[in-house]
Structure formats: C-alpha cells, structure tokens
Structure 1
Amino acid sequence: MNDDPLSLAQTAFAALADLAFACVLGALLLNVWLSREQAFATVSPARRGWLRAARGGPIAAIALVLCNFASLWLQAAAMSGAPIVQAGGALWLVATGTHAGIGWSVALAGSVLLLLASAGGGALSGTRIGMALVAALIVAAGKSAIGHAADAGAFSLAEAVQTLHLLATAAWGGIVIAGAFVLPALDTSLARAYLIRTVARMSRAASVAVAFVVLTGVFNAWRGIGGSAAVLTASAWGHALIVKMLLVAAALAFGALNRWSALPRLSRSASTMDAHTVINVMRVEALMMAGVFVAAAVLSHSVPGSSLAG
C-alpha cells in the first residue's frame, strides 16, 4: 500500500464500501426476520426495530453506490494519471477497457440493483429477496475481480473463493453491525420476546457465516503468503493480515460470549439487565468487525506476501 493521497483515498473508499455492503445485507436480513414476526404491523411492539432495519437498508445501499462510484472514479485517475477532479474523461475507457475498471463497474451495477431491492418499502417480498441475493453476488464477484484473487485469472478458483469470502464476511459483519443499530429499538419489556428470538436467529446465521469466513480466509491467507510464514512479519501486507486476524479473533470471542453466555441468560430471565448485556456485547463485536473491514481494505491495496517472497 502506498502512502500517496490517491492510494489512501482508494483504500478509504474500499473500506467504506465494504462497511456499507455489510450494513445493507445485515439490514435486509433483520428486515426479513422481523417481518416474519409481523413487526411491520402498526400495533406490533417490535415495529420500531423493523422500521430501523427497513430504513437502514436503503441508506446503506445509497452509501454503497456512492462509494463504488467514487472507487471507479479514483481507479480512472490512477490508471490515466490525470488529477482526481479531471479523471472523468477517462472514466468510460477505464470502466469498459480494463480489468480493474470492469470489476468496479460490475460492483457498481450490483450495488444499484441492491439499492432497488432494498428501497421498495414495506415487508420484503420473495421477488425483492431474490433480487437482493443476486445483487449481493454481483457486488462480491465484482470486488473479487479487483483484488489479489484476480491474479489467478478471471473465473478462477481464487476468485470464486474470494467471492464467497466477501459474501460471508459481509453477512457476518452486517448481522452484527446492523444488529447493534436495530436491537436497541427492541429493548422494551413488550418487545423482549421479539428481541430474544431475533438475536437467536442472528446468532445461528452468524455462526454459519463465520464458518465460511474461516475456511475461505485460511485459503486466501495461505495463497497470499506463498507458503512462507516469514512474509507475515516482513511486509506491510503481512502486518495488515495479522491485524485482521486479531480483530477477527476478538470479534469471535465477543460473539461466543453472546451465544454461549449472555443469550442463554437472557432467554431464561428476559430481564432488562441481560438484554442490555447482549446489546452492549454486540456493539463491541460490531466495532471489531468495522476494524476487520478496514484491515481488509488495506490488505487489498498492499502487495501480497507471495509476490514479495518471489
């Protein structure tokens, strides 16, 4: 990763895009789960939580569209050598004639589709859920074609694994981050049962996502280090990977604390104190996941250890 302003801007917008992508997926999942509880009904005690999820999804999707467009613009500036404010002249050529530009264009198209799926209002229909799933896959596939996995070639195993890694990480992070925003609206005595059932669903879904994150992450890390663990301490890429792994481990620890300790206590007691504990632990886990997305952006804009190792 370079320390010039353009490179820093690219890394920053990549991190923001990853965060926004996660928030969209998390908000959509919470919308689906709360809709199953009929939380969209005016008289439902969980309506405030459903409204947060329903409104948060489109807002995050708009942020994702803007970040992906900004990243495409910055890519045009980097490839054309033009100043950032004058990169518009090269935008179309980069977007349609370069591998990285096409990748960003695909991700941008997917983010627009995701915005359309999340902005329909009301409970999510089967059609909108299907559209959101396709859109999420398009976004992840576009992003995987931009990073180091693209070195293995288009439609390669490395790109497929990276696509799955991006989807799983976004789902896990989105569940946690969106949950930290939505769950406080369910923190009332009347909505306590909704809170317990929703957190249980979140925990199960996050566990599945984590399994895929770990499996695909191990593959990506092994491919990145090129069989030499020495690059972990000898390169900026390795340092970023270590930071990411530590943040993932911390997020896993807080998630396990909620799943195996705080949530069972809440299920037994349904007390306000235990509800606060679950929500506060999730907030800390959300901070860890935000850090994971930043570290991932740094990784994607750094020279991989395998290249440095020769």
Structure 2
Amino acid sequence: MRLDGLWFGQVAMAALMDVAFAFAFGSAVLGTWLASDARLTVAPGRLAWQRSQRSLLAAVVVLLLADLGWLLYQSAQMGGVRLPAAFALVPTVLLQTSVGYAWSVAFGGALLLLLSALVGPEGRARYLLLALGVLFVAAGKASMGHAADGGVLSAGLGLHVLHVVATSLWGGLVLAAGCAVLPALGASVARGVLIRTALKVSNVSLIALVFVLVSGVFNVERGAGASLEAIQSSIWGHVLLLKLALVALALVFGGLNRFLALPRLRRTASTMDAHTFVNVLYLEALTMIGIFIIAAALSHSAPPLTSMG
C-alpha cells in the first residue's frame, strides 16, 4: 500500500460511494414508512416524504458518479499509470479482473436503485428494484476487498455482505433522517408523524447495529486474528481503532436519543424536545460520515494477516 495521490483519491471515491449508498438506502426506507402519511397534498408528513424521494434520487446519482471515479482510480493503481492514462485501462480491468467483475455488480445495483427512484413512489416493481439494487451493491462492494479472497461462495464474503447491508441501513437511516427528512417534520401538526418515524428509526437502527457488531467482530478476527499486537503494530490496526472510537461516539449519540430524548419527546410532544432529538441525530449523522470515511481507508489498507501472507 502506497500513500500517494492515487490511494487518497481512491479512498475518497470509496467513502463517497459508501455515504451515497447509505443515504439512498436510508431515504428509501424512510420514504416507505412515510408513504401512508403523505397520500394527501396537505398531509403533515408530505414534505418529509418528498424530501426522502429527492434525497434518494440525488444520492443514487452521486453513487453512480462515485462508482465511475473509483473505477478510474482503481485502473490507474492496477496499471501503475497516471490518472489520465487510466482511461485506456478501464476495459481491461472490467473484462479481465475480479475487481472489475465486482465493480460491475455494484454498478448494476446502483442502476437498479436509480430505476426504483424513477418508476414511481410505490408499487411492487419499485420495492423489487430496491431490494435487488441494495443486494447487488452490497455484494459488489464486499467483493472488491479482501473478503473475496476466500472465493465467491465463502462464508467470509457472505458475512461481509451482511456487514455492508447492516452498516448501510444503520448509517443510512441516521444520515437521511438527521440531514434531510426529520427536519421537515418540525411543525407542531407533524409531531405525531415525527414521533412515529423517530421510533422506527431508533428501533431499526438498533437491530441493524447488532448485525454490524457481530459481523464486524468476524471481520476483525479475519483481518488480525486474535492478535492485539497485530492491531497495535500495523497501519490497518491504527485505522481500525480510530473507526471503533467513532463507532463508540455514534453509539453515545444514539443512546442519548433512544434513552433520554425520545422518551421525553413521546411524553411531552414539545417543540423543544423535537428539536433536541433531531439535533442529536444530526450530530450522529456527522459522526457516521466520519465512520464511512475511515471504513473506506480501512478497506484500502492491507490487514496484518494478509500482509504476512
């Protein structure tokens, strides 16, 4: 691993991919929850539902562009050339490398997500496209890294796909709700919709977090074994510790909302408590962006066991 401009560019594109995918995933889920509250033009939850649809479309467009940027950086790195010369290598990477195959699956999933955002707000076709899109993006992203070293049908790759889905669901709900959707439910007439949606965000995020932690422990064990020395003496280990610190900070914000702000909001339904919940969620969303950035750097660093062969 060389810490040069190509590496930093590739990590930046990977982080943008992660954030955009999570934002699209979270927006789609929130849009599904808010659909019943937004059927009427004057419904209290209609503005929030509209924001979820717009953020889904915007996030998918960003995801597609970030995918293309990452492929270009990956081609330059694999060919050992400068970025402009990498354009000529893209077809070779796509058609002759496992990374190219994995990228094609992820890009195809992003196209399915784009179709789901364009076909309409509801319906079986949209939900099927969403489900397939999420699965394809997660499988492709997981296959781009070291998790695919054991083969396409390995348990390690399957668990990493689960980790990507769970992380994107947890992070996506926090990002989309805190940055785009829940701030649109600030009016007092929308307080009931806000409380119901906030409760769903909290509950589903908790379930996703359990899967994140379980699959994450496996990934750490696969990368470093049971060796604390391997974590302490490697760049990969240092980046991992930074990621864990940010995860702990996100858990603090999530815990504050779940055990303090949300119960109080359900009791009082006051504007102040509504703002408190949304503001803490926004801080958690900012932390989540940091987690995705560090996770991208981690996925582009060699784990200790891989470095030792």
| TM-score category (smaller protein) | over 0.9
Matches within 5 A, 1:113-262: 113-121=112-120, 123-180=121-178, 181-262=180-261
1:40, 1:51 within 8 Å by CA — same for their partners in 2?
no
Deviations 1:231-266 (A, max 9, x none): 221111001111111111111121111111111100
Matching residue of 2:2: 2
Matching residue of 1:94: 93
1:150, 1:159 within 8 Å by CA — same for their partners in 2?
yes
Inter-partner Cα distance in structure 2 for 1:12 and 1:2: 15
Q: Which moved more, 1:274-283 or 1:244-253?
A: 244-253
**Structure 1: gaps spanning 5 or more residues:** none
Deviations 1:89-147 (A, max 9, x none): 221111121011111111111111111112334x3222211211111110110111111
Shift of 1:86: 2.4
State the TM-score, normalizing by the size of structure 1.
Answer: 0.96
Q: Which moved more, 1:103-112 or 1:13-22?
A: 103-112
1:2, 1:8 within 8 Å by CA — same for their partners in 2?
no
Aligned length: 308
Inter-partner Cα distance in structure 1 for 2:136 and 2:17: 14
| Residue 44 of structure 2 corresponds to residue 13 of structure 1 | no
Inter-partner Cα distance in structure 2 for 1:240 and 1:36: 43
Percentage identity across aligned positions?
45
Matching residue of 1:32: 32
Matches within 5 A, 1:53-92: 53-92=52-91
**Structure 2: gaps spanning 5 or more residues:** none
State the TM-score, normalizing by the size of structure 2.
Answer: 0.97
Inter-partner Cα distance in structure 2 for 1:77 and 1:124: 41
CA change 1:81–1:308 in 2 (3 A) is: closer
1:46, 1:194 within 8 Å by CA — same for their partners in 2?
yes
Q: Which amino acid aligns with 1:218?
A: V
Deviations 1:153-197 (A, max 9, x none): 222111111100000000000000000121110011010000000
Inter-partner Cα distance in structure 2 for 1:41 and 1:241: 47
Inter-partner Cα distance in structure 2 for 1:106 and 1:22: 17
Inter-partner Cα distance in structure 1 for 2:139 and 2:276: 37
1:21, 1:61 within 8 Å by CA — same for their partners in 2?
yes
Q: Which amino acid aligns with 2:168?
A: A
Runs of 4+ with deviation above 4 angstroms: none
1:26, 1:171 within 8 Å by CA — same for their partners in 2?
yes
Shift of 1:85: 1.6
Q: Which moved more, 1:79-88 or 1:65-74?
A: 79-88
